Structure 1
Amino acid sequence: MQVKIKYAYLNATADLFYQMPARGKRSRHLVRVIKVIDERLKLIDEQKMELIKEHSHLNEDGEPKVIKTEDGEHFDIKDLEAFKKDIDELMNESLVIDGGDYEETLLTVKDILLNTDREFQGKEAVLYNYLCEQFEQC
Structure 2
Amino acid sequence: MIIKNYEIGELQSFLFNLLLKGKESRMRTRFLKLLEKQLNQINLERQQLVAEYAEKDEHGEVLYKLETVDGNEIEFPIFSEDAEKEVQKQILTLLNEDFIIEETADKIDMLNTLQEIILNCDLEFTGKKATMYDRFCEIFEEMKHPEITQ
Deviation at 1:52, TM superposition (A): 0.2
The answer as to 2:95 corresponding to 1:91 is yes
Q: How many residue pairs get matched?
A: 136
| 1:80 and 2:84 aligned | yes
Q: 1:131 aligns with which of 112, 128, 136?
A: 136
Structure 1 CA distance, aligned partners of 2:16 and 2:63? 36
Per the alignment, residue 16 of structure 1 pairs with 14
What RMSD in Å do the two structures reach over aligned CA positions? 1.5
- Following superposition, the deviation at residue 28 of structure 1 comes to 0.9
Higher relative contact order (CA 8 A, sep 6+): 1
* Distance 1:61-1:33 versus aligned 2 partners, 3 A rule: farther
Structure 1 residue runs of 4 or more that deviate by more than 3 Å after TM superposition: 69-73
Where do residues 43-122 of structure 1 align in structure 2 (5 Å cutoff)? 43-69=41-67, 71=69, 72-78=74-80, 79-100=83-104, 101-122=106-127
TM-score by length of 1: 0.90
Percent identity reads: 29
**Cα deviation per residue 1:47-79 (whole Å; 9 max; x = unaligned)?**
001000111011344332111245553210222
Aligned residue for 1:95, secondary structure, equals strand
- Alignment pair present for 1:31 and 2:33: no
Counterpart AA for 1:29: M
Larger displacement relative to structure 2 (57-66 or 83-92):
57-66
Deviation at 1:18, TM superposition (A): 0.3
Partner amino acid, structure 2, of 1:102: K
The structure number with the bigger radius of gyration is: 2
Give the secondary-structure state (helix, strand or coil) at the position aligned to 2:107: helix
Select the structure that is richer in helix: 1
Bigger mean CA deviation after superposition, 30-39 or 59-68: 59-68
Aligned equivalents of 1:80 and 1:96: distance in 2?
29
Tell me the TM-score normalized by structure 2: 0.83
Alpha-carbon separation, structure 2, partners of 1:89 and 1:68: 27
> Per-residue deviation at 1:5?
1.0
